[in-house]
Every structure is written in structure tokens, then in C-alpha cells.
Amino acid sequence: MHRLVMAFINSMRALRHLAKHEQAVQQELILFFLSIPLAAVVAPTVLSFLLLTGSVLFLIMIEVLNTGIEAACDAVSLDFHREIQIAKDCGSLAVLISIILVATVWFYTLWTVFFS
């Protein structure tokens, strides 16, 4: 149980740091909190609501991992290294894919609600 409590404390410390210092995470947290009431209004089912809000949570999760990759790379070296650039670019690509997923889920749901 102690390990679970410590993992939670560490996670909240990370969330607090990211919410204070990472603009992308700040924007995505705002998007998530706005998505909850919007999804509650437009989602035709509970499953749709979970997909709409869950896709935004997935985006936040990927952004957190991307930030972790960038921090680890910067801790290794601030000088240019091709391998570090590739690692950071891959993290960025993961965020882009997540944004496409969010947009697709929201577009599909809104399209089916309003045009079907």
C-alpha cells in the first residue's frame, strides 16, 4: 500500500510541475475540463462520452510522456545530437498522432449527432 501512496504522491508532484511550467499541458488540461461538459451535452451514449473525454486524456498522457522524453534528453546533453533530435521528434510525432485521434473522435461524434 505504501508503494501505491508514494506513486500517487510522485504523480501529483509531476502534474503540479507540468501544470505550472508546460504550456502544452496547460492548454490540454483546459481542453479536458472544457470537454467534460461539452461531451456530456453532445454524447448520445455513455460510451461516446467516455471516448470523447478519454481521447483528450490520452492526448494529455502522450504529452506527459513527450515532456519526460524531452527532459531526459536535456539532462543527458543540451548540445546537438542527431539521436536526441530523433527521440524528441518521435515524442512530438506521438503528440501529433494523439491530436489527430482527438480531432477524429470529436468530428465523428459531432457529425453523427448533428448530421445523421
85 is in an annotated binding site: no
User: What's the rounded Cα separation, in Å, for the pair 93 and 100?
Assistant: 11
Residue 30 identity: I
110 is in an annotated binding site: yes
User: What's the rounded Cα separation, in Å, for the pair 64 and 53?
Assistant: 17
Q: Per the structure block, which three cell numbers stand in for 115? A: 448530421
Phi, psi of 50 (to 5 degrees): -65, -40
109 is in an annotated binding site: yes
**Residues belonging to the active site:** 63
106 is in an annotated binding site: yes
24 is in an annotated binding site: yes
48 is in an annotated binding site: no
DSSP code of 43? -
3 is in an annotated binding site: yes
**Interaxial angle between packed helices 2-21 and 23-42, expressed in degrees from 0 to 180 and rounded to the nearest 10:** 100
Residues in binding site for substrate: 3, 24-28, 63, 92, 106-111
Residues in binding site for a divalent metal cation: 22, 70
Residues in binding site: 3, 22, 24-28, 63, 70, 88-89, 92, 106-111
Residues in binding site for ATP: 3, 22, 70, 88-89
